[in-house]
């Protein structure tokens, strides 16, 4: 029996399934899957991948909604030595095509009328999703892997207009998940909610703690994630014990007293990451679930979580909560000149897929340790923890999703009626980020707001779409002829205030 000491994510599943085959692994609304069933389906699909000729490091694109089949496909890809690439089923086709091309996916798994459909993107051949059980001989087809092998690629916003793929190894993901399991005492009795899409690194906590600890993962239906009333009901009725999401989702549940109106006796752990949690909302969270441990986790996709802190009992919201102290597997330091947080250690990415130059630029070697330049400015608080102090570039966060404003500009400029485009974000302490796009058209009225939104909607995921489109005869420039983002930012602030 493989021990839990294995560093391979799929070995964790095998271990848990052998220990307790009848325990519940996944709950997806009315569909309940045991560890034994999950392992059997996973092995069967992995064998089919190998029989089809899938080789280690081949990419398998998963464009399924977040359901049981998607998790089967995740573990089957890993077992076959392939690299899975999550694709959100609601991404516009252009972005899907760009990601498929960028990663050179060999297989695409998407939702079909009668279950998942697996297509070989080279030959056009289809692979059956369900087939008879495999034999022992078939299982011998599965390759031997090491912890350094890549597990998956997560695509994130790219400043030049092309999304970029962050390549993460079994070791990198394992370092984070193992630490959470130990630090937060995750066990087979836990019910872990999975509110995030599989393409978002937060979901690794949910699905891989299920595999490592034999816990149950409860999939949150996508249509209610942003519907606080239903989400609160879901947490209560599903008896969720561990929750990990972006603060925006929690803040939504706290608004209007939805969350405070009920008790959650099982909810013992609330983790959040991806953006700043407005301090007053955090105070409300503590009041709504006083028994739960609440903790702030910090780290970009490239390093996963590298610092953390629990919310102290005396936290009153008068000061922002810091991003805490380094995780035991992380190496963290501050660049003395710029104040940039540099992060390395076991959870560090292998690099950006197929982009050696960009990878090289994003890393720095100091005293024999490889660090990722996070682009986040930090300072050190009196208690020695790190305080987030903003970005060094034009990246912004909205609902925890990161957005390179340059990618929105590139999408706007792909419209032939838009001659110039500049995008700015207005951030407030309490309110959501507002993204304003300033455009100069080829002729007045050539396109309207709706046309531009629809044009962007064909290229960008919905969280990246600008809230306001402002038509200008000329876009403010500095004396050197560069776009004056400062002036545009002030205009956007006035727009937000409604001046």
Partner 1 sequence: MEIETEIRKFVAAHYLPDSPVEAITDTMPLITSGIIDSIGMLGLVDFIENHYAIEFMPREIDVHALDTVERIASLIRAKLSGSKTDISPA
Site residue total, partner 1 (CB under 8 A): 29
3-state secondary structure of 247: helix
The reply on whether position 261 binds partner 1 by CB under 8 A is: no
Of 49-57, 99-107, 422-430, 453-461, the window that binds partner 1 (rule: CB under 8 A) is 453-461
Build a one-symbol-per-residue string for 372-411: x at contacts with partner 1 by CB under 8 A, - elsewhere.
---------------------------x------------
Report in angstroms how near the CB of residue 38 gets to partner 1 at its nearest.
Answer: 25
Q: Which of 448, 477, 486, 494 binds partner 1 (CB under 8 A)?
A: 448
Coil/strand/helix, residue 257? helix
* 363 three-class SS: strand
Q: Specify the residue, 203 or 385, whose C-beta has the smaller distance to partner 1.
A: 203
Residue with tokens 């776009």: 483
What 3-state DSSP class applies to 163? Answer: coil
Site residues (CB under 8 A) for partner 1, limited to 129-158: none
- Contact between residue 240 and residue 266 where contact means Cβ atoms under 8 Å apart: yes
Task: Tokens 């919310």: give the residue.
Answer: 311
Closest separation in Å from C-beta 228 to partner 1: 8
Measured over the CA atoms of residue 47, residue 48, residue 50 and residue 56, the dihedral's sign is: negative
Inter-residue contact 246 to 53 (CB < 8 Å): no
- 215 vs 192: CA distance, rounded Å: 7
- Gap between the Cα atoms of 157 and 312, Å rounded: 33
Query: What is the distance between the alpha carbons of residues 55 and 67, in angstroms, rounded to a whole number?
Result: 25
- CB neighbourhood size of 370 (10 A): 13
Candidates 269, 456, 488, 491; binder of partner 1 (CB under 8 A) is: 456
Indicate the residue among 45 and 219 with the shorter CB distance to partner 1.
219
Which x/- pattern, by CB under 8 A, does the window 205-244 give for partner 1?
A: ----------------x-xxxxxx-x--xx----------
Asked if 195 interacts with partner 1 (CB under 8 A), we say no
**Contact pattern for partner 1 over residues 405 through 444, marking x by CB under 8 A:** ---------------------------x------------
In angstroms, give the least distance from the CB of 265 to partner 1.
22
Minimum distance of partner 1 from residue 253's CB (angstroms) = 12
Residues 6+ apart with CB under 8 A from 491: 436, 438, 470
Q: How far is the CB of 317 from partner 1 (least distance, A)?
A: 23
Rg (CA), the chain: 23
Listed in order, strand segments (DSSP E) in 427-483 are 434-441, 468-471
Q: What is the 8-class DSSP label of residue 146?
A: -
Task: For the chain, give the number of residues.
Answer: 499
User: What character string, x for contact with partner 1 (CB under 8 A) and - otherwise, covers 460-499?
Assistant: x-xx-x--xx------------------------------
The rounded distance, in Å, linking the Cα atoms of 193 and 304 is 19
Is residue 449 close enough to count as binding partner 1 by CB under 8 A? yes
Q: Residue 305 or 464: which CB sits closer to partner 1? A: 464
**Which residue in 4, 320, 457, 489 binds partner 1 (CB under 8 A)?**
457
185: DSSP letter:
T
Pair 218, 32: CB distance under 8 Å = no
Applying CB under 8 A, the span of 16-24, 273-281, 329-337, 459-467 interacting with partner 1 comes to: 459-467
Binding site for partner 1 (CB under 8 A): 90, 92, 221, 223-228, 230, 233-234, 252, 399, 432, 448-450, 453-454, 456-458, 460, 462-463, 465, 468-469
């Amino acid at each position: 029996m493989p021990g839990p000491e294995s560093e391979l994510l799929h070995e964790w599943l095998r271990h848990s399934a052998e220990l307790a085959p009848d325990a519940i692994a996944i709950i997806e609304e009315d569909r309940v899957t045991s560890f034994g069933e999950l392992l059997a389906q996973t092995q069967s699909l992995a064998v089919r991948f190998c029989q089809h000729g899938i080789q280690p490091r081949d990419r398998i694109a998963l464009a399924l909604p977040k359901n049981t089949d998607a998790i089967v496909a995740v573990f089957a890809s890993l077992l076959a030595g392939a690299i899975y690439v999550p694709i959100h089923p609601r991404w516009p086709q252009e972005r899907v095509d760009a990601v498929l091309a960028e990663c050179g996916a060999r297989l695409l798994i998407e939702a079909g009328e009668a279950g998942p459909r697996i297509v070989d993107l080279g030959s056009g051949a289809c692979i059956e999703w369900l087939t008879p059980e495999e034999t022992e001989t078939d299982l011998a087809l599965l390759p031997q892997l090491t912890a350094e092998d890549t597990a998956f690629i997560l695509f994130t916003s790219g400043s030049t207009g092309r999304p970029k793929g962050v390549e993460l190894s079994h070791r990198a993901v394992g370092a984070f998940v193992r630490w959470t399991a130990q630090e937060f005492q995750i066990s087979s009795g836990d019910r872990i909610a999975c509110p995030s899409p599989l393409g978002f690194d937060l979901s690794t906590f949910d699905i891989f703690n299920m595999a490592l600890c034999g816990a149950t993962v409860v999939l949150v239906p996508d249509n209610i994630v942003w519907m606080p009333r239903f989400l609160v009901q879901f947490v209560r009725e599903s008896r969720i014990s561990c929750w990990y999401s972006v603060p925006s989702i929690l803040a939504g549940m706290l608004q209007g007293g939805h969350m405070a109106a009920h008790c959650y006796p099982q909810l013992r752990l609330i983790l959040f990451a991806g953006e700043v949690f407005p301090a007053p909302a955090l105070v409300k969270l503590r009041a709504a679930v006083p028994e739960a441990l609440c903790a702030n986790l910090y780290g970009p996709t490239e390093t996963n979580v590298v610092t953390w802190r629990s919310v102290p009992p005396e936290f009153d919201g008068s000061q922002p909560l810091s991003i805490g102290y380094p995780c035991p597997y992380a190496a963290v330091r501050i660049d003395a000149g710029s104040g940039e947080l540099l992060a390395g250690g076991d959870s560090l990415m292998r690099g950006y897929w197929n982009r050696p130059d960009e990878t090289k630029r994003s890393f720095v070697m100091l005293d024999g340790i490889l660090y990722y330049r996070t682009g986040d400015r930090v300072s050190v608080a009196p208690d020695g923890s790190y305080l987030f102090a903003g970005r060094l570039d034009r990246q912004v966060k909205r609902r925890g999703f990161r957005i390179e404003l340059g990618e929105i500009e590139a999408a706007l400029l792909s419209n032939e009626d838009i001659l110039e485009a500049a995008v700015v974000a207005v951030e407030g302490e309490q309110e959501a980020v507002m993204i304003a796009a300033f455009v100069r058209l080829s002729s007045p009225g050539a396109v309207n707001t709706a046309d531009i939104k629809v044009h962007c909607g064909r290229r960008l995921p919905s969280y990246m779409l600008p809230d306001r489109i402002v038509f200008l005869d000329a876009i403010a420039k500095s004396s050197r002829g560069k776009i004056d983002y400062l002036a545009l930012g002030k205009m956007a602030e006035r727009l937000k205030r409604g001046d």
